[in-house]
Structure 1
Amino acid sequence: MTDSKDGFGDLAVFHDPNLHLTIRGKKYTIPQPNAKEGLRIRQLFGAQFLSDATEVEEIMKLIGAEWVPDIRTSEVRDPMTGAPVLDDDGKAVVAEEDHGMWAGGLWDEMVADGVTWEELLHVGRTALIDVGVGRIAAQVHWESGLTPTLPEAEEPEGNPLPAPPAPNREARRAAAKKAPAKKAAAKKAAPRKKPSPKA
């Protein structure tokens, strides 16, 4: 029942857009991203641009984790000798490296629950497919592990014309009766070549 004059009730009352996935009896809820983020993820799938690094980053965002940087300074070492690399003044060359980690959201909860990396990736991929392709494709992935195959070429816009019906037997017979019999073409004799005058 609806209390709306136009027949459409409040969507939030009867529709839950979030994704609820269960591992070993515990339900984890992945909230749907806002419209802007949802469109961006859908476009990533449409452009078929989802490298391994991008996939992990998008999964972490969907499960509410944030990157916490941990910048450390270390000496640059020669890969062949292991000795420190020196600059022109004889001082050791240093470089900054980020040894940060993801934290927060479902990431912390799932790590505390002992969820494996593969299970977390499966949850994350299902959530990505849910946003990027749709709920049915996400359900197929959740149950089978299969990922949707994206079309390699863009689909033509609009509805394609239906294929013309194959002619039935009577139509083929009628067409054969109306068509004139084909005659074999007479061969023409090739013209004789005149001998060229001798120089």
Structure 2
Amino acid sequence: MALQDLGEFLDPTLSVPIRGKTYRVEPPDAETGLRLQHLSDWMLGAAAAVQADADAPAPSEELLSDAAELDMYRAALGAVYDELFADAVPWPWIKLAGMTAFLHWTVGAEQAEAYWAAGGRPEPQAGNRAQRRAARSTPRPGSPSGTSRSRKAARATAGGKSSATGS
């Protein structure tokens, strides 16, 4: 069996359209790709740990320093990073392009495209939304009926007084 040369049918570049110009981001070299993959694995592990303990307070230290974040964008974008700066592309767009490239090289094209299409805003997780809804509909302690009336209002109503009129 003879395999066809990858360069003949696989285009490994990422095209990032900004302001009518398409920037072609070349894939990282092996060393950079492995470093980005290691960072991605670490970030996914940190996110899983936070999700597993939803009641834990947010970490007091930043997980990724500013310098490490810049390095990640520069590594993911390669030469396009400097090109974006030279073209005076706004920083939020450079960050979006950098994170999209990072996701493209480490997680996959579909996830990167979804991130780009969402403008970098993460979609709410269905499980988290369901948990928040369940928490809102849970009866408060001391309120067997599940109503939100205070105990004072309940006593006033039970004693013949209306809590709304105060009579």
- If the length of structure 1 is used for normalisation, what is the TM-score? 0.47
Structural mapping, 1:37-76, within 5 Å: 37-48=32-43, 51-53=64-66, 54-64=68-78
1:120 paired to 2:94 = yes
- The whole-number CA distance in structure 2 between the counterparts of 1:25 and 1:127 is 18
Matched, 1:26 2:26: no
DSSP-derived class of the 2:15 partner:
strand
Deviations 1:143-179 (A, max 9, x none): 0124599xxxxxxxxxxxxxxxxxxxxxxxxxxxxxx
Larger Rg: 1
Using the TM superposition, give the Cα deviation of residue 138 of structure 1 relative to its aligned residue in structure 2, in angstroms.
0.5
How far apart, in 2, do the equivalents of 1:29 and 1:148 lie?
A: 27
Aligned length: 104
* Rounded Cα–Cα distance in structure 2 between residues aligned with 1:62 and 1:45: 12
1:78-132 residue CA offsets vs partner (Å, 9 max, x unmatched): xxxxxxxxxxxxxxxxxxxxxxxxxxx3233222322100011110000011112
Identity %: 33
Amino acid of the structure 1 residue aligned with 2:14: L
Unaligned runs of 5+ in 1: 1-5, 65-104, 150-199
Structure 2 runs not aligned, ≥5 long = 47-62, 125-167
Q: Counterpart of 1:63 in structure 2: which amino acid?
A: L
Q: Residues 1-199 of structure 1: matches in 2 within 5 Å?
A: 6-48=1-43, 51-53=64-66, 54-64=68-78, 105-144=79-118, 145-147=120-122
SS at match of 1:47: helix
- Alpha-carbon distance in 2 for matches of 1:129, 1:139: 9
CA RMSD across the alignment: 2.3
Normalising by structure 2, report the TM-score: 0.55
Q: Which runs of 4+ in 1 moved over 6 A?
A: none
* Equivalent position SS for 2:93: helix
Q: Is the helix fraction higher in 1 or 2? A: 2
